[in-house]
Amino acid sequence: EVQLVESGGGLVQTGGSLRLSCAASGFTFGQYGVGWVRQVPGKEREGVACISKSDGSVWYADSVKGRSTMSRDNAKNTVYLQLNSLKPEDTAIYYCAALVKCSIWWVRTIPRYDYRGQGTQVTVSS
């Protein structure tokens, strides 16, 4: 059974930080790129960041570039997303997703993926 389990969300004040984690199982983790998708109810989902399966290249959406760092640990089948200088507009449910190809286009268009977790809520108060 494919599982992507996110953790690390919560309520923070503007300017605060969070570190999201995603533990994957049930598929060959190293053969997939991994991304973070966020969604606000009533709005289209947005690709926040993705990391490639091959050379570890990371692409960030303009909305989080310079404030976020994504990494992966293939030995632990885990990815991380460090979010800094959080803003109220970062409030959303953040999902971890397994995808075939990570590229700049994944974070610039409506992201597509093969598997997705249940999400973790990030709320940034003003």
Tell me what the mean pLDDT of segment 58-85 comes to: 97
Of the pLDDT bands very low, low, confident and very high (cuts 50, 70, 90), residue 54 is confident
Q: How far apart are CA 74 and CA 72, in angstroms?
A: 6
106: left (phi over 0), alpha (psi -120 to 50) or beta: alpha
Share of the chain above pLDDT 90, in %: 96
Residue-averaged pLDDT of the chain = 96
User: Are residues 43 and 105 in contact, defined by beta-carbon separation less than 8 angstroms?
Assistant: no
Q: How far apart are CA 52 and CA 102, in angstroms?
A: 5
For residue 80, the model assigns a pLDDT of 98
- For residue 13, what are the contacts with CB-CB under 8 A and spacing of at least 6? 124, 125
For residue 84, the model assigns a pLDDT of 98
Tell me what the mean pLDDT of segment 60-87 comes to: 97
Q: How far apart are CA 124 and CA 40, in angstroms?
A: 13
